[in-house]
């Protein structure tokens, strides 16, 4: 990549990896932008964790950061699939299985939920919920972009990713000694 700017988008159009021209207002571009937004926010979450890394053991910090980097890479693969109009497959059941394994691990390390909870706690945990809501929005865009197509594994990955970040939030709070705040009106 020699230049950051190409000037090809100055008139509101861009191309995908198949060299197909798209309006930047097309649903495919909205989906691609949503995936990028998730990825950037995960980068910010990683920086929050690093800022507070004294709260975690070195091994825990390494494991958390490595998994978040893995998710960022997998999102990059989702982006490639979108940009090739799902003619190329990069996300398989393996990536989904890894998310499920991580979710199960974190659930086992936290107290069972007894009610709905307020989305709160430490900064990283609260921001994890923000990421989760972005993922849910992008998931809705994904459904609109697919229209009548068969749902690829990359869609299933995005669906599971919101579950991952819900669980991640509770897990981070647990690591920081913060309990769930039950959703009750007093």
pLDDT, position 26 = 85
On whether the CB atoms of residues 182 and 117 are closer than 8 A, the answer is: yes
pTM of the model: 0.90
Task: Please say whether the beta carbons of 142 and 161 come within 8 A.
Answer: no
Per-residue pLDDT of the chain (186 residues; tens, 9 = 90+): 566 666 666 667 676 676 777 766 788 889 999 999 999 999 999 999 999 887 788 899 999 999 999 999 999 999 999 999 889 999 999 999 999 999 999 999 998 878 888 788 899 999 999 999 999 999 999 999 998 888 999 999 999 999 999 999 999 999 999 888 878 877
Nearest Cα neighbor of 136 from 118, 159, 153 is 159
Domain positions in the chain: 26-175
- In whole angstroms, give the CA distance from residue 182 to residue 131: 21
Strand partners, 21: 15
Please report, in angstroms and rounded to a whole number, the separation of the first and last CA atoms in the chain. Answer: 57
pLDDT of residue 9: 65
Q: What gap in Å lies between CA 45 and CA 174, rounded to an integer?
A: 17
Q: Please give the pLDDT value at position 8.
A: 67
Name the superfamily (CATH) of residues 26-175. Answer: Cobalamin adenosyltransferase-like (1.20.1200.10)
Q: What is the pLDDT of residue 18?
A: 67
pLDDT at residue 32, as a whole number: 93
């Amino acid at each position: 990549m020699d230049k950051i700017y190409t000037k090809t988008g100055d008139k509101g159009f861009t191309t995908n990896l198949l060299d197909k021209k798209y309006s930047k207002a097309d649903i495919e571009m909205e989906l691609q932008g949503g995936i990028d937004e998730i990825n950037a926010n995960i980068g910010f979450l990683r920086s929050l964790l690093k800022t507070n890394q004294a709260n975690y053991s070195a091994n825990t910090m390494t494991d958390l950061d490595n998994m978040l980097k893995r998710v960022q890479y997998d999102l990059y693969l989702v982006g490639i699939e979108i940009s090739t109009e799902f003619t190329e497959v990069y996300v398989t059941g393996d990536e989904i299985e890894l998310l499920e394994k991580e979710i199960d691990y974190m659930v086992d390390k936290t107290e069972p939920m007894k009610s709905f909870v307020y989305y709160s706690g430490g900064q990283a945990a609260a921001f994890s919920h923000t990421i989760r809501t972005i993922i849910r929005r992008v998931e809705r865009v994904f459904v609109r972009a697919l229209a009548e197509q068969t749902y690829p594994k990359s869609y299933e990955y995005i669906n599971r990713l919101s579950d991952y970040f819900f669980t991640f939030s509770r897990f981070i709070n647990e690591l920081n000694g913060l309990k769930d705040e039950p959703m009750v009106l007093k």
